Structure 1
Amino acid sequence: MKTMKNWLLTGLLFMVVSTVFSQGKVTGTITDASGATLPGANVAVKGSPSGTSTDFDGKFTIDAKTSTGELVITYLGYDSKTLQFSVSNGGTTNLGEIVLSANSNELSEIVVKSSIVDIAKDRKTPVAVSTIKAAEIREKLGTQEFPEILRNTPSVYVTKSGGGFGDSRINIRGFNQNNIAVMINGMPVNDMENGSVYWSNWAGLSDVTSAMQVQRGLGSSKLATPSVGGTINIVTKSSDMKEGGSFSSGFGNARNFKIQGSYNTGKLSNGLSASVLLSQTMGDGYINGTQFEGSNYFIALGYGTKDDKHNFQITVTGAPQWHNQRSTVSTIATYQKYGSLTDPNIRYNADAGYLNGEEYNIRKNYYHKPVASFNWDYKINETTKLSSVLYASMGRGAGAGATGGVGGNLYNGSAFVLPNGMVDYDKIQAWNSGQGQVFFNGANRTRTMIGGVYQNSSNTGRSGAGTTASPYVYNTTAGISQTSSINSHDWFGAVINLNKKLSNTLTLDFGIDARTYTGYHFTVVNDLLGGGEFYDNTVASLKPAGRHITATYPTDVQWNVFDKKNYEKISFNSTGKVRWYGAFTQLEYSKDNLTAFVQGAISQQGFKREDDFVYLPTDPLTSTDYENILGGNVKGGANYNLNEKNNVYVNAGYYSRQPFFNSVYPNNRSTVNPNLTNEKIIGFEAGYGFRSRFFNATVNVYNTTWNDRYLKGNALPSDATTYTEYLGLNEVHSGFELEANSNITEKLKVNAMFSYGIWEYKGNATVNAYYQADNTPVVGYTASPVYMDKVKVGDAAQMTASLGASYEVLTRVTVDANYNFNDKLYAGLSPINFSDPNNKGALQLPSYGLVDAGFSYKMLVGKDKDKSVNFRLNVNNLFDKIYIAESRTNTFADDNLPVATGQTAGSKGTYASNGMLYNGVANVNQVFFGFGRTWNFALRYDF
Structure 2
Amino acid sequence: MKRHAMAACLLMAALSVCAQTREQDSLRVVNLQEVEVISTRATSSTPVAFTNIGKEQLKKQNFGQDLPYLLSMTPSAITTSDAGAGVGYTTLRVRGTDGTRINVTANGIPINDAESHTVFWVNLPDFASSVKDMQVQRGAGTSTNGAGAFGASINMQTGDFSMEPYAEFNGSYGSFNTHKETVKVGTGLINNHWSFDARLSNISTDGYIDRASVSLNSYYLQGGYYNDNTSIKLITFAGKERTYHAWNYASKEEMERYGRRYNSCGFMYATDREGNVYGKEYYKDDNGEKHYLTNEGGALHFYNDQTDNYTQKNYQLLLNHNFTSQWNLNIGLHYTKGDGYYQEYKGERSLAEYGMSPFEYNGGKVEVSDLIRKKAMDNWFGGGIFSVSYKADRLHASLGGALNRYDGDHFGRVLWVKNYIGHLNPDHDYYRNNATKNDGNIYLKANYELVSGLSAYLDLQYRHINYRINGLNDKYNWTAATPGMQKLDIDEDFDFFNPKAGLSWQIDRNHRLYGSFSVAHKEPTRNNYTDGYFTEHPKAERLFDYELGYTFANSWLHAGANFYYMDYKDQLVLTGELNEIGEAMASNVPDSYRMGIELM
* TM-score normalised by L of structure 2: 0.80
Identity %: 20
Structure 2: distance between partners of 1:651 and 1:682: 11
Q: What aligned pairs does 1:273-352 form with structure 2 within 5 A after superposition? A: 273-305=195-227, 308-338=228-258, 345-351=259-265
Task: Name the counterpart of 2:549.
Answer: 687
Instruction: Go from structure 1 to structure 2 and tell me whether the alpha carbon gap of 1:249 and 1:222 turns closer, same or farther (over 3 Å shift).
Output: closer
Query: How far does residue 216 in structure 1 lie from its aligned partner after superposition?
Result: 1.0
Query: How far does residue 459 in structure 1 lie from its aligned partner after superposition?
Result: 7.8
Amino acid of the structure 1 residue aligned with 2:513: V
Q: What aligned pairs does 1:192-341 form with structure 2 within 5 A after superposition? A: 192-223=114-145, 225-240=147-162, 242-305=164-227, 308-338=228-258
Task: Name the counterpart of 1:701.
Answer: 563
Instruction: Go from structure 1 to structure 2 and tell me whether the alpha carbon gap of 1:360 and 1:252 turns closer, same or farther (over 3 Å shift).
Output: farther
Q: Secondary structure at the match of 1:238?
A: coil
Q: What aligned pairs does 1:398-437 form with structure 2 within 5 A after superposition? A: 398-403=341-346, 405=348
Amino acid of the structure 2 residue aligned with 1:317: F
Structure 1: distance between partners of 2:169 and 2:588: 54
Residue ranges of structure 2 left out of the alignment (5+ in a row):
1-21, 270-299, 478-485
Task: Name the counterpart of 1:468.
Answer: none
Task: Name the counterpart of 2:386.
Answer: 496
Encode CA deviations 1:329-381: one digit per residue, 9 max, x unaligned.
3210111112xxxxxx21111125699x9985453111111111000012223
Task: Name the counterpart of 1:605.
Answer: 465
Q: Secondary structure at the match of 1:369?
A: strand
Q: Secondary structure at the match of 1:589?
A: strand
Query: How far does residue 495 in structure 1 lie from its aligned partner after superposition?
Result: 0.7
The partner residue of 2:443 within 559, 566, 584 is 584
Encode CA deviations 1:607-656: one digit per residue, 9 max, x unaligned.
112216899xxxxx989584221113111222221111111111210113
Encode CA deviations 1:185-235: one digit per residue, 9 max, x unaligned.
111111111212111112221221222221111223444642111111222
Q: Secondary structure at the match of 1:115?
A: coil
Q: Greater share of strand residues, 1 or 2?
A: 2
For the 8 Å contact 1:403–1:480, the answer to whether it is kept is: yes
Structure 1: distance between partners of 2:582 and 2:165: 63
Task: Name the counterpart of 2:599.
Answer: 738
Q: Secondary structure at the match of 1:320?
A: strand
Q: What aligned pairs does 1:520-535 form with structure 2 within 5 A after superposition? A: 520-526=409-415
Query: How far does residue 249 in structure 1 lie from its aligned partner after superposition?
Result: 2.2
For the 8 Å contact 1:461–1:479, the answer to whether it is kept is: no
Counterpart check, 1:148 vs 2:69: yes
- Matched length: 533
Counterpart check, 1:728 vs 2:593: no
Task: Name the counterpart of 1:875.
Answer: none
Amino acid of the structure 2 residue aligned with 1:390: L
For the 8 Å contact 1:404–1:458, the answer to whether it is kept is: no
Structure 1: distance between partners of 2:165 and 2:594: 47
Q: Secondary structure at the match of 1:175?
A: coil
For the 8 Å contact 2:80–2:91, the answer to whether it is kept is: yes
Task: Name the counterpart of 2:294.
Answer: none
Instruction: Go from structure 1 to structure 2 and tell me whether the alpha carbon gap of 1:725 and 1:373 turns closer, same or farther (over 3 Å shift).
Output: closer
Return the index of the structure with the highest Cα Rg. Answer: 1
For the 8 Å contact 1:403–1:458, the answer to whether it is kept is: no
Structure 1: distance between partners of 2:387 and 2:103: 19
Encode CA deviations 1:872-919: one digit per residue, 9 max, x unaligned.
xxxxxxxxxxxxxxxxxxxxxxxxxxxxxxxxxxxxxxxxxxxxxxxx
Structure 2: distance between partners of 1:509 and 1:291: 46
Structure 2: distance between partners of 1:111 and 1:226: 30
Structure 2: distance between partners of 1:317 and 1:197: 15
Q: Secondary structure at the match of 1:136?
A: helix
Structure 1: distance between partners of 2:369 and 2:353: 5
Query: How far does residue 120 in structure 1 lie from its aligned partner after superposition?
Result: 2.5
Task: Name the counterpart of 2:401.
Answer: 512
Q: Secondary structure at the match of 2:56?
A: helix
For the 8 Å contact 1:263–1:276, the answer to whether it is kept is: yes
Amino acid of the structure 1 residue aligned with 2:334: Y
Instruction: Go from structure 1 to structure 2 and tell me whether the alpha carbon gap of 1:359 and 1:295 turns closer, same or farther (over 3 Å shift).
Output: farther
Structure 2: distance between partners of 1:250 and 1:359: 31
For the 8 Å contact 2:232–2:318, the answer to whether it is kept is: yes
Amino acid of the structure 1 residue aligned with 2:36: K
Q: What aligned pairs does 1:755-794 form with structure 2 within 5 A after superposition? A: none
Counterpart check, 1:486 vs 2:409: no
Structure 1: distance between partners of 2:583 and 2:198: 52
Task: Name the counterpart of 1:824.
Answer: none
Instruction: Go from structure 1 to structure 2 and tell me whether the alpha carbon gap of 1:270 and 1:136 turns closer, same or farther (over 3 Å shift).
Output: closer
Structure 2: distance between partners of 1:716 and 1:281: 38
Counterpart check, 1:571 vs 2:430: yes
Structure 2: distance between partners of 1:573 and 1:475: 28
Q: Secondary structure at the match of 1:200?
A: helix
Task: Name the counterpart of 1:115.
Answer: 38
Task: Name the counterpart of 1:370.
Answer: 313
Query: How far does residue 592 in structure 1 lie from its aligned partner after superposition?
Result: 4.0
Structure 2: distance between partners of 1:360 and 1:400: 10
Amino acid of the structure 2 residue aligned with 1:688: Y
Structure 2: distance between partners of 1:175 and 1:725: 14
Query: How far does residue 251 in structure 1 lie from its aligned partner after superposition?
Result: 1.7
Instruction: Go from structure 1 to structure 2 and tell me whether the alpha carbon gap of 1:350 and 1:665 turns closer, same or farther (over 3 Å shift).
Output: closer
Structure 2: distance between partners of 1:456 and 1:382: 64
Instruction: Go from structure 1 to structure 2 and tell me whether the alpha carbon gap of 1:354 and 1:193 turns closer, same or farther (over 3 Å shift).
Output: closer
Q: Which shifted more, 485-494 or 606-615?
A: 606-615
The partner residue of 2:80 within 150, 153, 159 is 159
Counterpart check, 1:637 vs 2:502: yes
Structure 1: distance between partners of 2:533 and 2:111: 23
Task: Name the counterpart of 2:291.
Answer: none
Instruction: Go from structure 1 to structure 2 and tell me whether the alpha carbon gap of 1:240 and 1:731 turns closer, same or farther (over 3 Å shift).
Output: farther
For the 8 Å contact 2:532–2:586, the answer to whether it is kept is: no
Structure 2: distance between partners of 1:668 and 1:481: 27
Q: Secondary structure at the match of 2:58?
A: helix
Q: Secondary structure at the match of 1:319?
A: strand
Structure 1: distance between partners of 2:252 and 2:35: 48
Query: How far does residue 732 in structure 1 lie from its aligned partner after superposition?
Result: 1.2
Q: Secondary structure at the match of 1:228?
A: coil
Q: Secondary structure at the match of 2:68?
A: helix
Residue ranges of structure 1 left out of the alignment (5+ in a row):
1-60, 74-109, 339-344, 411-454, 463-473, 534-547, 552-567, 616-620, 740-943
For the 8 Å contact 1:180–1:229, the answer to whether it is kept is: yes
Structure 1: distance between partners of 2:582 and 2:81: 33
Structure 2: distance between partners of 1:70 and 1:111: 10
For the 8 Å contact 2:65–2:126, the answer to whether it is kept is: no
Query: How far does residue 273 in structure 1 lie from its aligned partner after superposition?
Result: 0.6
Amino acid of the structure 1 residue aligned with 2:591: N
Task: Name the counterpart of 1:396.
Answer: 339
Query: How far does residue 314 in structure 1 lie from its aligned partner after superposition?
Result: 0.7
Structure 2: distance between partners of 1:172 and 1:135: 23
Query: How far does residue 710 in structure 1 lie from its aligned partner after superposition?
Result: 2.7
Task: Name the counterpart of 2:425.
Answer: 550
Structure 2: distance between partners of 1:266 and 1:272: 8
Structure 1: distance between partners of 2:135 and 2:413: 39
Counterpart check, 1:171 vs 2:60: no
Query: How far does residue 250 in structure 1 lie from its aligned partner after superposition?
Result: 2.0
Q: Which shifted more, 492-501 or 389-398?
A: 492-501
